[in-house]
A and B are shown apart, each in its own frame.
Chain A
Amino acid sequence: MNRFDYVRAKTVPEAVAAAGQAGTAILAGGTNLLDLMKGNVVQPTRILDITRLPGLSEIEISADGGARIGALVRNSDLARHAKFAGAFPAIAEALLSGASAQLRNAATVAGNLMQRTRCPYFYDPASACNKRSPDAGCDALGGDTRLQAVLGWSEHCIATHPSDFCVPLAAFGAIVEIDGPQGRREVPFDAFHLLPGTTPHRETALEPGELIVGLRLPAEASRFAVHSRYLKIRERTSYAFAVVSAAAGLRLEGTRIVEARLALGGVALKPWRASAAEAALAGREAGQAAFAEAAGLALADARPSGDNGFKIELACRLVIRALQAAAKGTPSRPTALPASLVNLA
């Protein structure tokens, strides 16, 4: 770890003023930042500790069913917040399926949005990576590609976004609240993370000096509460990143779908909302035919970025499964292994 100055912000305006200075990294839970610094992947010269900022640690559920989550709320606190988990069970399930209890206790919700890819070439300072150093090239191309992106990738970057939490946030249309030198603004979740294009080093909509102060979930998102799930395929039973994951929510009238929400994780550099699939599901009978069609639409633009074609078929099947699970109904108590497909009877 390189040497750095450590500063602690006491107020949001103070943090905004400090965050804009070159070489500054924001420290909240630290679970990703310290990992990256230890790996010599990032070398900030200044650490801005925002953990003491007032007013950013609240979870508020409004009367209409919407929610506002302060940026510094810990993942575990949000997941275990009874009212929140009741209104947004797929989000709670996604949170609980991520990382370990220790990491969830430290990691913040805003930090989760800001986490960097797990691409091994990004993590390896000896490899070329356009994210770490613009125009350096991408050594992932033609390398170990088994778990890389199948949607939205470019010749400049084939990495994926590793978050579980962000997948249902995308599906349920969260809004990111940002404060910065130009004042407060809001960004719809789908516009927050950027696809790589020719500028993979630009990862989010945040401008220099801006920081996330909160997340909002609109009231209509809670209307999916009784029919929503997050499912995650991984290569060990727990404490593993998703190979592919899916968040699904349905509003049903009888067996007819009134409205659907669907997003995929592990497939692209951003949590992938499948809007065309959502549209196609509206008005259909909940069942295999509609779900399979939706899965096809969700993955219609997918193409392998290497030795990872299996992820397309896997994602298709997972979408169907997630929609089936959502249709079946949200479990009354969270399953013992959140988001898992191999809960033992």
Chain B
Amino acid sequence: MSNSISLQINGARRELVLDDPRTTLLDLLREHLDLTGAKKGCDRGQCGACTVILDGRRVNSCLTLALSCDGADVLTIEGLAVGDKLHPVQAAFIEHDAFQCGYCTPGQIMSAVGLMLEGHADTDPERIREAMSGNLCRCGAYAGITQAVLDAQARMKRQAAAGEAA
């Protein structure tokens, strides 16, 4: 079996040859592609710090074998902002102080983006809390995180409505 894979990462096509079949998507991003935004907190799918969007849905990249991603589309925290313009979730995280140390933040943000992409946006904070429970925050920024997700959803909805009206 060839160790060559093709990935679309943050919109750019990458043809990659893996030296080692053991490399996870997380280690590929962090150690080989200098995309160090996704973090390793547990390496066992127990903290969510490594969350990325794989083919439109959030996954733990630490439990994803890079080889098995051949042909996939990967969105990481580095691909979220457009130039200097932050994604609404990113902006809302700053505004609501939805992080302290910042280590879980890329995973939290990708998880929030993922829940919207997956069609689970909801105005009920309880459902947002449940949907965001796969991302541990040891600093305890949960109240801000929930507020930021609700706020970003509302902003995106308004933007979409404005876009339709225009």
Judged by a CB distance under 8 angstroms, whether B164 is at the interface is no
Question: Is B127 interfacial (CB-CB < 8 Å)?
Answer: yes
B63 to A31, Cβ gap below 8 A? yes
Known: A5-B1, A47-B65, A336-B124. A102 touches B22 (CB 8 A): no
CA distance A204 to B163 in the complex (A): 54
Q: Nearest chain-B residue to A336 (Cβ)?
A: B126
- State the Cβ distance, B6 to closest chain A Cβ, in Å: 14
Q: Please report which residues of chain A, range 20-68, place their CB below 8 angstroms from some CB of chain B when the two chains form the complex.
A: 27, 30-31, 34-35, 38-39, 47, 49, 51
Q: Could you mark each residue 25-63 of chain B with 1 if its beta carbon is under 8 Å from any beta carbon of chain A, else 0? A: 000000000000000000111001001000001111011
Q: Check B131 for interface membership: any CB of A closer than 8 A.
A: yes
**Are B44 and A101 neighbours in the complex by a CB distance under 8 Å?**
no
The reply to whether B58 and A105 form a contact with Cβ atoms under 8 Å apart is yes
Q: For residue A105, which residue of chain B has the nearest CB? A: B57
Known contacts A31-B60, A337-B126; A38 and B43 CB within 8 A of each other:
yes
A115 within 8 A of B: no
Query: Quick check: B60 and A102 within 8 Å, CB to CB?
Result: yes
With contacts A30-B64, A237-B133 known, is A106 near B59, CB below 8 A? yes
Q: Is residue B134 within 8 Å, beta carbon to beta carbon, of the partner chain?
A: yes
Question: Please, which residues of chain B bring their CB within 8 A of the CB of A27?
Answer: 65, 68
Q: For the complex, count residues of A whose C-beta is within 8 A of B.
A: 33
In the assembly, what is the distance between CA of A7 and CA of B2, in Å? 9
Q: Are A4 and B111 in contact (CB under 8 A)?
A: no
User: Please, which residues of chain A bring their CB within 8 A of the CB of B64?
Assistant: 30, 34, 106
Judging by beta carbons under 8 Å apart, are B48 and A100 in contact? yes
User: Is there contact, CB below 8 Å, between A102 and B130?
Assistant: no
Instruction: Tell whether B21 is near chain A: CB-to-CB under 8 Å.
Output: yes
State the CA gap A336–B130 with chains docked (Å): 7
Measured between alpha carbons, how far is A38 from B50 in the docked complex, in Å?
Answer: 16
Name B56's closest neighbour in chain A (CB-CB): A105
Tell which of A6, A35, A336 touches B63, judged by Cβ atoms closer than 8 Å. Answer: A35
Within 8 Å of chain A (Cβ to Cβ): is B106?
Answer: no
Judge if A344 is at the interface, Cβ distance under 8 Å.
Answer: yes
Residue contact B126 to A6, C-beta cutoff 8 Å: no
Chain B residues with CB below 8 A from A103, complex form: 45, 60, 63, 134
Q: Which of B51, B59, B127 has the most chain A CB atoms inside 10 A of its CB?
A: B59
Whether the pair B130, A337 counts as a contact (CB closer than 8 A) is yes
How close is B142's CB to chain A, nearest CB, in angstroms? 11
Q: Per-position contact with A for B106-141: 1 when CB-CB < 8 Å, else 0? A: 000001001100101000101101110111000000
- The residue from B1, B44, B129 contacting A7, defined by CB atoms under 8 A apart: B1
Is the C-beta of B153 less than 8 angstroms from some C-beta in chain A?
no
Q: Are B111 and A102 in contact (CB under 8 A)?
A: yes
Cα distance A102–B44 when bound, in Å?
12
Q: Say how far A122's CB is from chain B's closest CB, in angstroms.
A: 15
Complex contact B58–A239 (CB within 8 A)? no
Contacts of B134 in A (CB 8 A): 99-103, 239
Which residues of chain A are near B20, meaning CB under 8 Å? 3
Residue on B nearest A36 in the bound complex, by CB: B44
Residues of chain A within 8 A (CB-CB) of B111 are 101-102
A7 to B65, CA, bound (A): 12
CB distance B58 to A101 under 8 Å? Answer: yes
Question: In whole angstroms, what is the CA distance A99 to B44 when docked?
Answer: 12
CB < 8 Å: which of A30, A39, A338 contacts B65?
A: A30
Q: Is B90 an interface residue (CB 8 A)?
A: no
Contacts of B120 in A (CB 8 A): 101
Q: For the complex, what is the distance from the CA of A49 to the CA of B45, rounded to whole Å? A: 19
Cα distance A47–B59 in the bound complex, in angstroms: 20
Most buried by A among B114, B118, B120, B130: B130
Does B147 have its Cβ within 8 Å of any Cβ on chain A?
Answer: no
Is B76 an interface residue, CB under 8 A from the partner?
no
Q: Does A8 contact B (CB under 8 A)?
A: yes
Known contacts A35-B44, A336-B124, A344-B126, A106 near B60 by CB under 8 Å: yes
Q: How far apart are A133's CB and chain B's nearest CB, in angstroms?
A: 22
21 CB contacts below 8 A, A to B, read A6-B3, A27-B65, A30-B68, A31-B45, A34-B65, A35-B63, A38-B43, A47-B21, A47-B65, A49-B65, A76-B57, A102-B51, A102-B114, A105-B114, A106-B63, A238-B129, A239-B134, A336-B124, A336-B126, A336-B130, A338-B130
In addition to A100-B48, A103-B45, 4 A-B residue pairs with Cβ atoms within 8 Å of each other are A3-B22, A100-B133, A101-B114, A102-B45
Seen from chain B, the residues whose Cβ lies within 8 Å of a Cβ on chain A are 1, 3, 20-22, 24, 43-45, 48, 51, 57-60, 62-65, 67-68, 111, 114-115, 118, 120, 124, 126-127, 129-131, 133-135
